[in-house]
Structure 1
Amino acid sequence: MSAETVLERILNRDEEPRDLPLALLQHITKHFCEENKIGQGGFGEVYKGELRNGIVVAVKRIDVNQITIDDVSFRREFNSLMNTNHQNVVRFLGFCSNTHHIPRKEAREINLVNVRERILCFEYIGNGSLDKHITDELRGLEWEPRYEIIAGICKGLLYLHEQKKIIHMDLKPPNILLDDHKVPKITDFGLSRSNDKSHTMGHRFGTAGYIAPEYEKDGKTSFKCDIYSLGVIITELATGCKTVPDKNN
Structure 2
Amino acid sequence: MEPDVLEQIFDGSIEPRDIKLSDLQSITKNFSEDQIIGKGGFGTVYKGVLLNGVVAVKRIHNMHTIDEKLFHREVNSLLMVNHKNIVRFLGFCSHTVHKPFKNEGSGGYILFEDRERILCFEYVNNGSLENYIAGLQWDTRYSIIKGICEGLQYLHMEKSIMHMDLKPANILIDDNMVAKITDFGLSRMVENSQTKTTNRFFTLGYSAPEYIDSGTMSPSYDVYSLGIIIIQLVTGHRSVTNSNNVSVFYIVDGLFLQI
TM-score of the superposed pair, with normalisation by structure 2:
0.84
Decide whether the 8 Å contact of 1:62 with 1:69 is kept in 2.
no
State how far apart, in whole Å, the 2-side matches of 1:161 and 1:32 are: 35
Match of 1:15 in 2: 14
Match of 1:59 in 2: 57
Decide whether the 8 Å contact of 2:7 with 2:51 is kept in 1.
no
State how far apart, in whole Å, the 1-side matches of 2:208 and 2:65 are: 22
Amino acid corresponding to residue 238 of structure 1 in structure 2 = V
Match of 2:91 in 1: 94
State how far apart, in whole Å, the 2-side matches of 1:37 and 1:111 are: 33
- How is 1:172-191 mapped onto 2 (pairs within 5 angstroms)? 172-191=167-186
Relative to structure 1, is the Cα distance of residues 107 and 171 closer, same or farther in structure 2, using a 3 angstrom cutoff? farther
Q: 1:182 aligns to what SS in structure 2?
A: coil
Shift of 1:133: 2.1
Match of 2:125 in 1: 126
Instruction: Give yes or no for the alignment of 1:77 onto 2:42.
Output: no
Match of 1:164 in 2: 159
Q: 1:59 aligns to what SS in structure 2?
A: strand
For residues 62-87 of structure 1, the C-alpha deviation after alignment (integer angstroms, 9 at most, x for no partner) is 1354x566110001100000000000
Q: Aligned pairs, how many? A: 236
Relative to structure 1, is the Cα distance of residues 217 and 187 closer, same or farther in structure 2, using a 3 angstrom cutoff? same
Runs of at least 4 residues of structure 1 off by over 3 A? 100-113
Relative to structure 1, is the Cα distance of residues 107 and 18 closer, same or farther in structure 2, using a 3 angstrom cutoff? same
Relative to structure 1, is the Cα distance of residues 176 and 105 closer, same or farther in structure 2, using a 3 angstrom cutoff? farther
Relative to structure 1, is the Cα distance of residues 16 and 81 closer, same or farther in structure 2, using a 3 angstrom cutoff? same
Match of 2:206 in 1: 210
For residues 100-146 of structure 1, the C-alpha deviation after alignment (integer angstroms, 9 at most, x for no partner) is 56797987899774221211111100100110222xxxx43111100
Decide whether the 8 Å contact of 1:64 with 1:70 is kept in 2.
no
Decide whether the 8 Å contact of 2:38 with 2:44 is kept in 1.
yes
Match of 1:247 in 2: none
Relative to structure 1, is the Cα distance of residues 39 and 110 closer, same or farther in structure 2, using a 3 angstrom cutoff? farther
Amino acid corresponding to residue 46 of structure 1 in structure 2 = V
